[in-house]
């Protein structure tokens, strides 16, 4: 990806960032498989019949998504509360993504509003930003809708909420995410999207994004060319 191409995608509009990946590794200290196992344990305690693929899933977001589609609203809320509490623990040992914080600071310096759009708990995201002195650099945190996992990305609603939060139009914004769900959500919301391929295996599938980066340092460089608004 050429620097000119990336700069043209970044433009001079608001920046919407996914959290787990572009900003930090939320489950670096409290591994995702451990968190997923705790949620599965809760479901089993409620005598929920779990398919084998769910019972062995290592992705807590996949577990709560399944719960939302197959269990009662009350049980979904219980799993939501458990996951949110575990995410609050996780952010205490989350590892910052190299240059991820610099992207947020560079956006602020360039006069570009920043919003976080995350399938993680908004409360956990806000706690992380406060702990790392980044809260004042972010206009709004759009986290997982409470006990409504069907509204998580790749559904576009959260992205559109972020667009409204930065008082902009979809065509003026760019979302940076490290998953296909980010890319799909951005496309559905008519927002430009940069795929952060933090693993080599993501480079090819992310080619459908408007731009692909393998390090957040590329985004810092692109932002440095943006004239402050």
State the pTM of this model. 0.96
pLDDT tens track for 155-210 = 999 999 999 999 999 999 999 999 999 999 999 999 999 999 999 999 999 999 99
Please check whether the domain covering 3-26+95-224 is classified as CATH 3.40.50.1000. yes
What pairing do the DSSP bridges indicate for beta strands 174-177 and 140-142? unpaired
Neighbours of 95 (CB within 10 A): 12
Q: Where are the domains of the chain?
A: 3-26+95-224, 32-92
Q: State the Cα–Cα distance between residues 227 and 229, nearest whole angstrom.
A: 6
User: What pLDDT score was predicted for residue 228?
Assistant: 60
User: What pLDDT score was predicted for residue 141?
Assistant: 98
Q: Is 229 a residue whose pLDDT tops 80? A: no
User: What pLDDT score was predicted for residue 139?
Assistant: 97
User: What pLDDT score was predicted for residue 12?
Assistant: 77
User: What pLDDT score was predicted for residue 8?
Assistant: 87
User: What pLDDT score was predicted for residue 1?
Assistant: 57
| pLDDT band at residue 2 using 50, 70 and 90 as cut-offs | low
What pairing do the DSSP bridges indicate for beta strands 140-142 and 192-196? unpaired
User: What pLDDT score was predicted for residue 4?
Assistant: 78
Which residues are CB-contacts of 10 (< 8 A; sequence separation ≥ 6)?
174, 194, 219, 222, 223, 226
pLDDT tens track for 82-129 = 999 999 999 999 999 999 999 999 999 999 999 999 999 999 999 999
- When pLDDT is averaged across residues 67-76 and rounded to a whole number, the result is 98
Which residues are CB-contacts of 8 (< 8 A; sequence separation ≥ 6)?
none
User: What pLDDT score was predicted for residue 7?
Assistant: 87
pLDDT tens track for 10-29 = 987 999 999 999 999 999 99
């Amino acid at each position: 990806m050429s620097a000119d191409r990336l700069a043209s995608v970044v433009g001079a509009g608001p920046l919407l960032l996914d959290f787990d990946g572009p900003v930090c590794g939320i489950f670096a200290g409290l591994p995702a498989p451990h968190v997923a196992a705790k949620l599965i344990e809760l479901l089993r305690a409620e005598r929920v019949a779990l398919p084998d693929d769910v019972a062995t899933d290592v992705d807590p977001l996949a577990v709560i998504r399944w719960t939302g589609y197959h269990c009662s609203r009350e049980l979904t809320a219980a799993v939501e509360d458990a996951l949110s509490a575990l995410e609050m623990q996780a952010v205490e040992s989350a590892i910052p993504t190299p240059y991820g914080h610099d992207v947020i600071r560079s956006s602020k310096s360039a006069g570009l509003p920043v919003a976080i759009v995350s399938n993680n708990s908004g409360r956990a995201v806000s706690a992380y930003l406060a702990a790392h002195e980044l809260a004042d650099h972010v206009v709004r945190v759009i986290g997982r809708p409470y006990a409504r996992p069907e509204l998580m990305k790749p559904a576009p609603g959260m992205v559109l909420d972020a667009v409204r939060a930065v008082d902009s139009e979809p065509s003026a914004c760019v979302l940076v995410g490290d998953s296909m769900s980010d890319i799909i959500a951005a496309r559905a919301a008519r927002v430009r999207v940069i795929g952060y391929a933090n693993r080599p295996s993501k480079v090819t599938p992310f080619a459908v994004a408007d731009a692909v980066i393998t390090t957040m340092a590329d985004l810092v460089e692109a932002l440095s060319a943006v004239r402050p608004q």
